[in-house]
Structure 1
Amino acid sequence: MKMTLRQLMLFGCVARHMSYTRAAEEMHLTQPAVSIQLKQLEEHIGLPLFESIGKKLHLTAAGTELQLACKDIFSRLDNLEMALTRMKGVMHGTLRIAVVTSAMYFAPHLLGMFQREYPEIKIRLIVRNRDQVLRRLANNEDDLVLMAQVPQDMKLVSYPFLDNPMIPLATPEHPLVGERGLPIDAFADYCFLTREEGSGSRKAIEDHLREHDVVLEDIMELGSSETIKQGLMAGLGISILSRHSVALELATGLLTELDVESFPIVRSWCMVHHEEKKLSPAAQAFIDFMHTNGMDAREMLRNRFMSASID
């Protein structure tokens, strides 16, 4: 029995995650199906590819060699697909794009605009927190990433395309609502709802508060922007979120923007890829589309997400 590309894809996925379970989830398979395929691959090679030490999975020497070979094989296949696409002159293929959690509110609208222009391009959208997205960048798992805080210690190319204002929020019944020009240390007097460690939003907020010597003592850590919004509406405290993520709640009066000095925190959403990455035709088409149609895209997003503000 010969090894197959499918088996190599599954092996590469397990090697990235060091987890059969997470690989099965990504590949939309059952864990036993992944295990069977990799067992067959090991039988063909005649050497074990993984070993378990304690509860952790590790690559063997053979696994490490195969991982390097897989990266080369799939890189060559990607290059072949790009070359054939250019020869055909027809824009198709798959755009693999990962976005940080806060971008999930507007990214589908951008991708919808893009797909109307390029209906033959398939889109695979992955949503993760910042740390997970950075790992995906390092492992070359996606064509492009959408994020706001681009690290300076990685060799990345970034294209800013949209402002990302982060605003202080509370339920309309909160005692701070209606106050004007609140000092930034007003946050310290209330429970502050925040994202988990590894979130880009949390890092931006902590950096901003640190610059103003504000220390938060009463913190409630919640796992997503959606959970924070529900916590705000339940009166659990106050928080800071991207305006894109709360447009509906502001428009319907479920949440209220607080008037606090030094806000909003304004960052830029960026398209990001590794500087050594060879972009697929689909990825280059998306970058070109955003450069050409950026004003229309920004206007659409502004009308959809940015109209609600402090009265």
Structure 2
Amino acid sequence: MNYTLHQLYVFLKVAQNKSITKAAVELHLTQPAVSIQLRNFQEQFEFPLTEVIGRKLYITDFGQEIAIAAEKVLSEVEAINYKTLAYKGELSGRLKISIVSTGKYVMPYFLSDFLKQHPGVDLILDVTNKRQVLESLEHNEVDFSLVSVLPDAIQIEKVELLPNALYMMVNASQTFDKKNYDVSILEELAVIYREEGSGTRYIMEKFIENNNLNVPKKFELTGNEAVKQAVLAGLGCSIMPLIGVKNELNNGSLQIVPVKGLPIKSNWNLIWLKGKKFSPVANAYLQFIQNEKERIIADSFQWIEEKNKKGIIQLK
């Protein structure tokens, strides 16, 4: 047999995604290129690795066993690469972080310099909702997680990164000219929610519940970007994190409605399981955050502190 590491990797991605198209996207290859590699790999076995029923790709039992073996082989190769870098005195290995979807506006700034300093570190960043973030943390599948709502049922340790403030946002074409509105305004408007399991939705629902509001008309969308686009289109209002709408406030396409009790304030926290034994990479990253946090905030997030101090909001 003369299969290559590349063929193993391509087949593993096909097996994991159960789709040549999805594997091609993940591998940054064309679909025909993936199909050719899969065919060349298959030719070296007398038993089928995959089968197509209808238009759906299935991995055979034999293919599943080969996929497991391929993953082990590729993990060992990866370990060899890391050991080579370590022998040269370079920090190497994987850094695994899960973040809530709005955290994509935060986390890259706390990663950029660290990854530039340590090119031997591979980053695995999972961007999802709060529920799945906490599941991956609880199952010890990641080194760190980024959340704005701390978990109740998991023992954790944390580093506070920066403030998180949520305001009521509407399309800028709508007229809201009062200096302050009562919270009952949410009963008069279509309110756009994030999906179940979202931290932003949890905060928003708590605010509505604590103010005994009856919101008769509401929409549910998956992801902060989808909610933002719906608000931009004038479908309704939403209570959204300030950090995710800087550009829209700057260009005048969104406006903040001053509502009694808002903004809702919390903090972005980098969290990890209490008592977790860190890898050298994770340990180095935690030290980096502790040493560089204030500089990163001053360089990239000073506008948030300034606007939260002023309370509201005409970004320049």
> Where on the TM-score scale, by shorter chain, does this alignment land: which range?
0.7 to 0.9
Distance 1:64 1:141, change over 3 A: farther
Q: Please tell me the residue identity of whatever aligns with 1:188.
A: E
Q: How does 1:115-154 map to 2 (within 5 A)?
A: 115=115, 118=117, 120-121=119-120, 128-130=127-129, 146-148=146-148
Residue number in structure 2 paired with 1:27: 27
Give the conservation status (yes or no) of the 8 Å contact 2:12–2:70. yes
Per-residue deviation, 1:2: 2.0
* Counterpart mapping for 1:140-219 below 5 A: 146-148=146-148, 160-172=160-172, 174-180=174-180, 182-183=182-183, 185-195=184-194, 200-206=199-205, 208-210=207-209, 214-219=213-218
1:292 equivalent in alignment to 2:291: yes
2:306 corresponds in structure 1 to 307
- Distance in 2 (alpha carbons) for counterparts of 1:277 and 1:59: 36
Specify the SS of the correspondent of 1:37: helix
Distance 1:96 1:25, change over 3 A: farther
Shift of 1:274: 8.6
Gaps of 5+ in 2: none
What is the TM-score with the length of structure 1 in the denominator? 0.74
Q: Distance in 2 between matches of 1:275 and 1:67?
A: 34
Q: Is the 8 A contact 2:96 2:143 kept in 1?
A: yes
Map residues 100-111 of structure 1 onto 2, 5 A cutoff. Answer: 100-111=100-111
- Superposed CA deviations along residues 14-53 of structure 1, whole A, max 9, x for unmatched, are 2222221111101011122212222322332322223345
Change (3 A) 1:50 1:163: farther
Paired-residue identity, % = 29
Partner amino acid, structure 1, of 2:17:
H
Asked if the contact 1:101–1:127 (Cα under 8 Å) also holds between the matched residues in 2, the reply is no
2:8 aligns with 8
Q: Match for residue 258 of structure 1? A: 257
- CA offset at residue 257 of structure 1? 2.7
Q: 1:114 maps to which residue?
A: 114
Native 8 Å contact 1:169 1:256 kept in 2: yes
Q: Distance in 2 between matches of 1:81 and 1:277?
A: 25
Amino acid at match of 1:47: F
Quote how far apart the aligned CAs of 1:297 are. Answer: 2.2
Q: Which amino acid aligns with 1:16?
A: Q
Q: Partner amino acid for 1:302? A: F
Alignment root-mean-square deviation, CA: 4.2
1-structure distance, mates of 2:238, 2:99: 22
Contact 1:243–1:306 at 8 Å: present in 2 too?
A: no
Distance in 2 of aligned mates of 1:152 and 1:47: 50
Contact preservation (8 Å) 1:129, 1:198: no
Conserved in 1, the CA contact under 8 Å of 2:82 and 2:120?
A: no
TM-superposed CA distance for 1:6, in Å, is 1.3
Change (3 A) 1:10 1:137: farther
Please report the TM-score for the alignment, with normalisation by the length of structure 2.
Answer: 0.73
Equivalent pair of 2:98/2:136 in contact (CA under 8 Å): no
More off after superposition, 32-41 vs 75-84: 75-84
Within a 5 Å distance, the mapping from 1:27-106 to structure 2 comes to 27-53=27-53, 55-91=55-91, 99-106=99-106
Which whole-Å CA distance do the structure 2 matches of 1:150 and 1:212 have between them?
22
Shift of 1:62: 1.6
State the aligned residue count: 309
Letter in structure 1 aligned against 2:231: L
Name the CA distance, whole Å, in 2 between partners of 1:160 and 1:101: 18
Following TM superposition, by how much is the alpha carbon of 1:303 offset from its aligned partner in structure 2, in angstroms?
0.6
| Deviation by residue 1:98-132 (Cα, 9 ceiling, x = unmatched) | 6544233333333333345x063577676744289
TM superposition shift of 1:238: 1.2
Bigger mean CA deviation after superposition, 34-43 or 194-203: 194-203
Distance 1:49 1:216, change over 3 A: farther
Question: Which secondary structure state, in structure 1, belongs to the residue aligned with residue 44 of structure 2?
Answer: helix
In structure 1, the gaps of 5 or more residues are: none
